[in-house]
Amino acid sequence: MKLIRTKNYEEMSLRAAALLASQIIRKPDSVLGLATGATPLGMYGFLVDWYRKGVLDFRDVQTWNLDEYLGVQKVDSHSYYYFMHKNLFDGINIPEESIHMLDGMAEDIGHECAAYDEGIRKAGGIDLQVLGLGHDGHIAFNEPEKFFSAGTHCVAINKSTIRANARFFLKEEEVPKKAMTMGIGNIMAAGKILLLVCGADKAEILQRVLQGPVAPEIPGSILQFHQNVTVVATEDALREM
C-alpha cells in the first residue's frame, strides 16, 4: 500500500487528480470506478480544469459509479447521477453512453444489480477505482456487517451514514434509507484503488482501516489485502498513525 501524505484538502485533490490523469494519459480507454461525496469534489474540479486546458481527453474513457440512492430519480438534485453530471461529466467530453450509474428507480433491483456486475465484467473490469471513506469504515455503501459482500446489491444505510449525508439535504428525514452499491468483491477486483481521505474526523477510522485487523465490521480494512492501493490523505486524517 502506498501512502501519500498531503498538507491540506487542496493538495490531496491535486495529487489524486494527477494520479487519475496519468491513468487516462497512459490508457486513454481506461475504465474508471468513481465515487460521490464531498471528498472527491476537489479532484473532479482539477480534472474538469485540465480537460478545458486541453491536457486531458475523456472521449474513450468509461466510468462506473459505486452507488446510488434507491427511489431517487436521476433529475433529483440529490441523486448521485445529478451529482456526477454537475461536478464532473457535464464539464468533460465523456460520451453519455460511456457513463454507467445504477438506476435508483429500477423496477427490478435484482436485475439492475446483476446487469451492472455483468456490464463491468464485459468492460474488462475496472482499471482504477476511486474511493472515499465513511466514518464507520464504509466504502461505497458497504456498511459494517458480519460478512463481506461480493457483487452489486441493495443495502439499508446506517444511521451514522444517514446523519453524515444529511448535510446534502434540507432535513435528515429526507435522506433515503436504502441504496444500491457495488460490493466489496467488485471493489477488490479493480486493478488499482485510489482511496481519498481528509479531515481529523476520519483519523481514527483511517487508522483502523489501514492498521487494524481486517474484518467486515470495518469494511474498508479489506483494502489491506489489495495489491495496488494508493491512499492520498491529509495530514490531519493521518494523525492517529
Contact call for residues 180 and 67 (beta carbons, < 8 A): yes
CB of 196 to ligand F6R, least distance (A): 8
143 is catalytic: yes
Lookup: cell for 121: 465484467
CB of 53 to ligand F6R, least distance (A): 26
Residue 69 C-beta: closest distance to ligand F6R, Å: 10
What's the grid cell of residue 189? 477486483
Nearest residue (CB) to ligand F6R, 50 versus 80: 80
Across the beta sheet with 153-156, the strand order is 67-69, 178-181, 153-156
Residue 135 falls in the annotated catalytic set: no
Q: Is 201 known to be catalytic?
A: no
| The length of the chain, given as a count of residues | 241
Q: Which of 11, 136, 145, 204 is catalytic?
A: 136
Residue 14's Cβ-side half-sphere holds a number of Cα atoms within 13 Å equal to: 7
Contact 113, 185 (CB under 8 A): no
Smaller CB distance to ligand F6R: residue 67 or 103?
Answer: 67
Residues of the shown chain interacting with ligand F6R in the complex, contacts defined by CB under 6 A: 35-39, 66-67, 132-134, 138-141
For ligand F6R, which is the closer residue by CB, 55 or 156? 156
229 Cβ contact list (under 8 Å, min separation 6): 1, 2, 192, 193, 194, 195, 223
- Measured distance CA(68)–CA(65) in Å, rounded: 8
The least distance separating ligand F6R from the CB of residue 213, rounded to whole angstroms, comes to 21
Catalytically annotated residue among 68, 112, 127, 138: 138
Q: How far apart are CA 203 and CA 77, in angstroms?
A: 30
Nearer Cβ to ligand F6R (37/176): 37
Catalytic residues: 67, 136, 138, 143
